[in-house]
Amino acid sequence: MENLNNAIVGQLVAENYHTAAVFKKFNIDFCCNGNHSIEEVCSRKNIDPAIVTAEISTILGYRPGPEENYNIWNLDVLTDHIIKKHHQYVETQIPILESFLHKLCSVHGPQHPELHEIARLFNGSAAELTIHMKKEELMLFPYIKQLVKAKSLGITASPAPFGNVANPVHMMMQEHDHEGERFRQISALSNNYTTPPDGCNTYKVTYALLKEFQDDLHLHIHLENNILFPKAEQLEKELTTAAPSCSINR
């Protein structure tokens, strides 16, 4: 789009729901009063439209890269990728979705009582995922990196404080199952994230973001359950069956 200043706010959000986060950031109504241009709303709010259009342009110009072959990545690189790509995504999206769901429940809750259950399920998932990710970042992932370093140096890693890697892996996989079930319920309650006929732009954006959150979670869980965890267990076995002469603590 050549001149974003003249772009209609609601139309932009309808075409690309990610732009809703920018308008929310600047407290620009993209829903009920979304039939105005960026220039108009910025003028009324005394906001420099160049700042808004710059962020919108970044979103509109984004193109995802080719699918990665994660199976060939080193485990330390994969753990860093999971944190930077998936953990940070979850941390960023949680407050956005919580806010949108709260608004939906306030405005549409009387007509669509399922929204309250969707919000309850998402809020529960958000709380559990926050704790889950910290356990990985503070305990499991550092140990996996220690295993990788030990192998590269040809030495043994110090024993894990949790016995062996299978113990936290079992716990993480159980928690993955719980979150997967929660999102199956959210998907069912939302009719597979289908906006009802009386749904507004906020409704559409919220469901689109929930669907994206679920898709990201599926890839996140796949990387851990099917690649990272089995390879970490195998690496630990290799190092414990070998007989190196020294050990590493970090």
pLDDT tens column, 69-106: 888 899 999 999 999 999 999 999 999 999 999 999 99
* Cβ-contact 210, 18 below 8 angstroms: no
Backbone φ and ψ for 160, nearest 5 degrees, come out as -70, 145
Does residue 202 lie within any of the structural domains? yes
Q: Are residues 15 and 122 in the same domain?
A: no
Q: Are residues 54 and 90 in the same domain?
A: no
Q: Are residues 231 and 169 in the same domain?
A: yes
State pLDDT tens for residues 118-160: 999 999 999 999 999 999 999 999 999 999 999 988 887 777 8
Residue 62 pLDDT: 65
Does residue 47 lie within any of the structural domains? yes
Q: What is residue 37's three-state secondary structure? A: strand
Residue 239 pLDDT: 86
Look at the alpha carbons of 54, 60, 66, 72 in this order and tell me if their dihedral is positive or negative. Answer: positive
* Cβ-contact 172, 132 below 8 angstroms: yes
Q: Are residues 95 and 44 in the same domain?
A: no
* Cβ-contact 4, 18 below 8 angstroms: no
Closest C-alpha among 25, 47, 30 to residue 95: 25
State pLDDT tens for residues 162-219: 889 999 999 999 999 999 999 999 999 999 999 999 999 999 999 999 999 999 999 9
Number of structural domains the chain divides into: 2
Does residue 92 lie within any of the structural domains? yes
Residue 242 pLDDT: 57
| For range 25-35, the mean pLDDT | 85
Does residue 66 lie within any of the structural domains? no
Q: Are residues 88 and 150 in the same domain?
A: yes
pTM (2 d.p.): 0.81
Q: Are residues 106 and 215 in the same domain?
A: yes
Q: Are residues 50 and 87 in the same domain?
A: no
Q: Are residues 116 and 214 in the same domain?
A: yes
How far is C-alpha 202 from the geometric centre of its chain's CA atoms? 19
Q: Are residues 56 and 122 in the same domain?
A: no
Closest C-alpha among 142, 134, 135, 149 to residue 235: 149
Does residue 65 lie within any of the structural domains? no
Report the distance separating Cα 46 and Cα 5, nearest Å: 14
Report the distance separating Cα 62 and Cα 41, nearest Å: 24
Does residue 145 lie within any of the structural domains? yes
Residue 66 pLDDT: 52
In the chain, which residue ranges form alpha helices assigned H by DSSP? Answer: 9-15, 19-25, 38-45, 49-60, 75-81, 88-108, 114-135, 141-153, 166-189, 201-222, 229-241
Q: Which domain holds residue 42?
A: 4-60
Close Cβ partners of 118 (under 8 Å, ≥ 6 residues apart): 101, 186, 189, 190, 210
* Cβ-contact 152, 235 below 8 angstroms: no
Q: Tell me 84's DSSP state.
A: I
Does residue 173 lie within any of the structural domains? yes
Residue 161 pLDDT: 84
Radius of gyration of the chain (CA): 22
Report the distance separating Cα 163 and Cα 226, nearest Å: 22
* Cβ-contact 23, 30 below 8 angstroms: yes
